[in-house]
Amino acid sequence: MKSLTPNLMVGNVARALAFYCDTLGFTFEMGVAEEGGPIATDRTNEQDFICAMVRNGGACFMLLEERAFAHDLPAFAGRKPGASATFYLEVENVNALHEKLAGNVTEVKPLCDMWYGKREWYIADPDGYVLCLAHTLRT
C-alpha cells in the first residue's frame, strides 16, 4: 500500500473546504464542479464543487458532496454524512492548535494526556466527522 486518503461524504463541499483549509490549515489541491468536468486548481468557484481534495503534510482527504457520493457508490444512497470512526492526525504541536482553535470548533473530547504518551484533542468537522489532533509528549 502506498497511501490512505479517506473519501468523506459531505453536505456542502465549500463548507468542508472552509473548515479543512481555513480552520485547520490544509492546502487545496483540486476540485471539480461536475463529473467529468475540468479540474480546478484554485478555490475560485468552490461554491460549485461537488468534489475536492485537501492535504496537510501526509494527511489527505477527498470531500465529496453527498448526492455525488451516492451516485458514485449507490450503496451509500440515503445515508447521511458522518461515520462511526475517528481520524487520528499526528500534528507538530496540539497545544498551539488548541490555543488557536478552541471556541471556534466543535470539541468532542477536551485536550488530555493519555497513558500511552500522547496529548490528544478531539474535534468534529461540520459534517460530524471526528478528528483527533495529537502529538507525542516528550519524556
Strands (E), the chain: 7-10, 27-32, 39-40, 51-56, 59-65, 86-90, 106-113, 118-124, 130-136
Please report where in the chains the cell 478531539 appears, as a residue: 122
Mind listing the pLDDT tens digit for each residue in 58-108? Answer: 999 999 999 999 998 998 899 888 888 899 999 999 999 999 999 999 999
- Give pLDDT, residue 37: 86
Q: pLDDT band at 36, cuts 50/70/90?
A: confident
Summarize pLDDT for 8-25 with one digit per residue, the tens.
Answer: 999 999 999 999 999 999
- Enter the pTM of the model: 0.89
**How sure is the predictor about 40, in pLDDT bands with cuts at 50, 70 and 90?**
very high
Answer whether residue 30 shows pLDDT above 70. Answer: yes
Q: Is the predicted pLDDT of residue 139 greater than 70, yes or no?
A: no
Listed residue (29, 64, 38, 37) closest to 50, CA to CA: 64
